[in-house]
Amino acid sequence: MSRFKSLIMLLLFLTLWPLTGCNDLVPHDTKSLLAPEFQRSEIVGLAAGFGTTFAAMPDLLAMLKRRSSAGMNPRMVLIMCIFQILWVYYGFLIASRPVIVWNVIAVLINSLTVGAYLHFLRKEKRQGKDIGTLAA
Tens of pLDDT along 11-55? 877 777 666 666 666 666 666 666 777 777 777 777 777 877 787
Tens of pLDDT along 55-105? 778 888 888 888 887 877 778 877 888 888 888 898 899 888 888 888 899
Q: How far is CA 35 from CA 31, 38, 39, 53, 91, in A?
A: 8, 6, 8, 22, 20
pLDDT in the model for residue 83: 85
pLDDT in the model for residue 40: 73
Would you call 35 helix, strand, or coil by DSSP? Answer: coil
Confirm if 62 and 53 have CB atoms less than 8 A apart.
Answer: no
Distance (Å, whole) CA 50 – CA 96:
15
Distance (Å, whole) CA 56 – CA 124:
23
Q: What is the CATH number of the domain that holds 8?
A: 1.20.1280.290
pLDDT at 9 over 80: yes
Confirm if 110 and 77 have CB atoms less than 8 A apart.
Answer: yes
Q: Tally the domains of the chain.
A: 1
pLDDT in the model for residue 104: 92
Radius of gyration of the CA atoms of the chain, in A: 24
pTM of this structure: 0.59
